[in-house]
C-alpha cells in the first residue's frame, strides 16, 4: 500500500467578490476522471449563464491524473492557480470548479490569479479533508486479568478500538497504523505474558473524520 495521503472527504462551496465579479467555488470528492468531468458538467448546467467555469482535478494517491482549464480566461490565470492551492495543501481525489460572473471590470493577470486562488481557499473552508492512512485490524482475545493493561497500552499509543466484546473472555478489535503494528503487538504480548491471542488481518485504509473512525474500501 501507498503511504498516508490526504483526500477531500466531504465537498463544499465558497464565494468571493472581486471588483463586482463573483467567483463561486464548488468542490467535490472524486475517484475517477469520469466523476470529475460529470461534476464539471453539473456545475456548468447549474450556472448556465456564467461567463467562465474554470476547473482542476487531482486524482490518485500519487496524483496520477491531474487536469486543469482556464476556460477562456488568460492562460495560467485560473486553472493553474487553483491547482497550486490544492497541491500546496497536498489534497488528492478532488475536483474544484470556480464559476465567474463578470462584474464589468478587468482584473488583470495578477488579479485573476489571486481571485481564483482565494475562491478555492474559500471553498475549502467549507469542506472536510481527511488523511487516508494504511492500517491493520488487530483482533485481541484475552482473559479479564489483562484487560486493563491492554486498554492502557492502546490509550497511550493513541490506537482506536473498533469493537469491544465481553463474554467469558474479553475481545477487542483495533485499527492500528501499519507502521505501529509490530511494536503494538510486541507490547501487548509482553504486558500479558503471552496470554493474549493476537490475530492481524489484511491492511486497509482508514481515517478520522470529525473524531469518527472511517474505513475505506480501497
CATH code assigned at 184: 3.30.70.240
Same domain for 39 and 105, yes or no, is: yes
Q: Are residues 18 and 107 in the same domain?
A: yes
CATH code for position 39: 3.30.230.30
Residues 47 and 116 placed together within one structural domain of the fold: yes
Given 65, 98, 126, which residue is the final one in a domain? 126
Q: Tell me the average pLDDT across 202-217.
A: 85
CB-based contact 189:125 (threshold 8 Å): no
Do 34 and 111 belong together in one domain? Answer: yes
Residue 48 to residue 46: CA distance in whole angstroms: 6
> Would the pLDDT of 1 be above 60?
no
pLDDT at 198 over 90: yes
Domain co-membership, 109 together with 210: no
Are 89 and 69 a contacting pair, CB within 8 Å?
A: no
Instruction: Return the SS3 of 173.
Output: strand
pLDDT, tens digit (0-9, with 9 covering 90-100), for 23-72: 999 999 999 999 999 999 999 999 999 999 999 999 998 889 999 999 99
Note whether 121 and 144 are same-domain residues.
no
Q: What is the rounded average pLDDT of the residues 156-163?
A: 89
Residues 31 and 139 both lie in one domain: no
75-98 average pLDDT score: 96
89 shares a domain with 27? yes
Cell of 169: 473472555
Domain that holds residue 69: 5-126
Would you state the pLDDT for residue 2?
65
Average pLDDT of the chain is 93
Q: Quickly tell me which residue has 496470554 as its cell.
A: 195
Q: Structure pTM?
A: 0.84
**Across 62-91, average pLDDT:** 95
Q: Of 126, 144, 166, which closes a domain?
A: 126
- Reported as a pLDDT band with limits 50, 70 and 90, residue 166 is very high
Number of domains in the chain: 2
Same-domain status, 27 and 103: yes
Looking at 126, 153, 168, which one is the last position of a domain? Answer: 126
pLDDT digits 0-9 by tens, 100-150: 999 888 889 999 999 999 999 999 999 999 999 999 999 999 999 999 999
Q: Given pLDDT bands bounded at 50, 70 and 90, which one contains residue 214?
A: confident
- Same domain? For 97 and 55 the reply is yes
Q: What percent of the chain has pLDDT over 90?
A: 82
Rounded to 10 deg, the angle between the 108-124 and 79-88 helix axes is 40
The answer to whether residues 106 and 196 belong to one domain is no
pLDDT at 161: 87
Amino acid at each position: 500500500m501507498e503511504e498516508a495521503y490526504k483526500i477531500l472527504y466531504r465537498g463544499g462551496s465558497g464565494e468571493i467578490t472581486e471588483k463586482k465579479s463573483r467567483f463561486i467555488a464548488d468542490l467535490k470528492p472524486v475517484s475517477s476522471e469520469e466523476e470529475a468531468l460529470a461534476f464539471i458538467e453539473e456545475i456548468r448546467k447549474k450556472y448556465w449563464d456564467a461567463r467562465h467555469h474554470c476547473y482542476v482535478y487531482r486524482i490518485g494517491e500519487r496524483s496520477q491524473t491531474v487536469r486543469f482549464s482556464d476556460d477562456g480566461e488568460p492562460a495560467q490565470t485560473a486553472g493553474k492557480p487553483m491547482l497550486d492551492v490544492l497541491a500546496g495543501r497536498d489534497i488528492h481525489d478532488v475536483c474544484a470548479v470556480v464559476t465567474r460572473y463578470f462584474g464589468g471590470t478587468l482584473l488583470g493577470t495578477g488579479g485573476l490569479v489571486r481571485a481564483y486562488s482565494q475562491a478555492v481557499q474559500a471553498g475549502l473552508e467549507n469542506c472536510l479533508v481527511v488523511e487516508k492512512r494504511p492500517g491493520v485490524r488487530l483482533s485481541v482475545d484475552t482473559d479479564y486479568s489483562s484487560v486493563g493493561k491492554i486498554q492502557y497500552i492502546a490509550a497511550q499509543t493513541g490506537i482506536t478500538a473498533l469493537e469491544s466484546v465481553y463474554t467469558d473472555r474479553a475481545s477487542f478489535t483495533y485499527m492500528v497504523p501499519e507502521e505501529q503494528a509490530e511494536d503494538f503487538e510486541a507490547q501487548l504480548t509482553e504486558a500479558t505474558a503471552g496470554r493474549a491471542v493476537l490475530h492481524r488481518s489484511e491492511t486497509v485504509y482508514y481515517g478520522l473524520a470529525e473524531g469518527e473512525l472511517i474505513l475505506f474500501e480501497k
